[in-house]
């Protein structure tokens, strides 16, 4: 295992998200470094949800690339960056840090469908950018007052796009999901694997081919 790590290219995850790290590890990819980017995630005036997801993923990748170029141990590294946006129509929902903000998100999503957009950006060792946008449709059941209060008490909503984490207790709210589950969690695994493999990173192709 050590020998394999010695010869393969370095892999950087431009995120401090434990969810994105766990998703990569789930398919056998272990980043050599985590380089979270401190970017302003506020939408620009008139910016649509898809454009926001694309822009933030690209900005995170660019920030990480700037850092890798200053470090000898990360020269020629692959970089994976992503950003997830939850939207009701053209309305972008926040990543709440306050209880009432999270409650407003849940009330808005209750009994309705919404879209989850994840922008993905992979930087190659030569500095090329490979980008994808993954769209997933999600529908929630009607949430009772007790549902909302119990979920808010769990604290899972904090910092999550749309105020919920589908991999946690909010899984019980989902009546339908069309698209990529891993993208809703925070990183579309099929697309990330395909982009890395297409640029020569040693991804287990047997995993890709089984999809």
For residues 124-140, give the mean pLDDT: 97
Model confidence at 207: pLDDT above 70: no
Token pair of 162 as six digits: 């749309």
pLDDT at 205: 55
pLDDT at 37: 85
At 205, give phi and psi (nearest 5°).
Answer: -65, -25
pLDDT band at 3 (very low <50, low <70, confident <90, very high): very low
Q: Residue ranges of the alpha helices (H) in 28-128?
A: 49-68, 99-109
Three-state secondary structure of 76-90: CCEEEEEEEEEEECC
> Which residue segments constitute the domains of the chain, with CATH numbers given?
2-206 (3.90.950.10)
For residues 175-196, give the mean pLDDT: 97
Dist. CA 80–CA 188, nearest whole Å:
11
Higher pLDDT, residue 37 or 166: 166
Are the C-beta atoms of residues 34 and 16 closer than 8 Å to each other?
yes
CA distances, 44 to each of 21, 80, 161 (Å): 28, 23, 17
Dist. CA 111–CA 189, nearest whole Å:
28
For residues 187-203, give the mean pLDDT: 94
Q: What is the mean pLDDT of the chain?
A: 93
Higher pLDDT, residue 151 or 205: 151
Share of the chain above pLDDT 90, in %: 91
Catalytic entry in 6, 38, 72, 83 = 83
For residues 36-49, give the mean pLDDT: 94
Residue range 170-184, pLDDT digits in tens: 999 999 999 999 999
Dist. CA 4–CA 104, nearest whole Å:
48
Model confidence at 69: pLDDT above 90: yes
Specify whether 6 is catalytic. no
Long-range contacts of 198-207 (CB under 8 A, 24+ apart): 198/130, 199/78, 199/122, 199/124, 199/125, 199/128, 199/130, 200/9, 201/8, 201/9, 201/11, 201/78, 202/8, 202/9, 203/27, 203/29, 204/27, 204/28, 207/27, 207/28
């Amino acid at each position: 295992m050590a020998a394999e790590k010695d010869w393969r290219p370095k892999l950087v995850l431009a995120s401090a998200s434990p969810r994105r790290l766990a998703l990569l590890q789930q398919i056998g990819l272990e980043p050599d470094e985590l380089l979270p980017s401190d970017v302003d995630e506020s939408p620009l005036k008139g910016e649509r949800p898809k454009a926001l997801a694309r822009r933030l993923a690209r900005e995170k990748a660019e920030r990480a690339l700037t850092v890798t170029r200053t470090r000898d141990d990360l020269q020629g590294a692959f970089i994976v960056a992503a950003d997830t946006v939850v939207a009701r129509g053209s309305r972008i929902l926040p990543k709440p840090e306050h209880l009432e903000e999270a409650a407003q998100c849940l009330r808005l999503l209750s009994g309705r469908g919404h879209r989850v957009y994840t922008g993905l950006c992979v930087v190659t060792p030569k500095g090329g950018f490979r980008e994808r946008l993954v769209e997933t449709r999600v529908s929630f059941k009607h949430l009772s007052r007790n549902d909302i209060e119990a979920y808010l008490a769990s604290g899972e909503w904090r910092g999550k796009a749309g105020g919920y984490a589908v991999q946690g207790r909010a899984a019980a709210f989902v009546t339908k999901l069309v698209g990529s589950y891993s993208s809703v969690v925070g990183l579309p695994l099929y697309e990330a694997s395909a982009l890395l493999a297409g640029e020569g990173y040693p991804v287990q192709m047997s995993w890709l081919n089984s999809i």
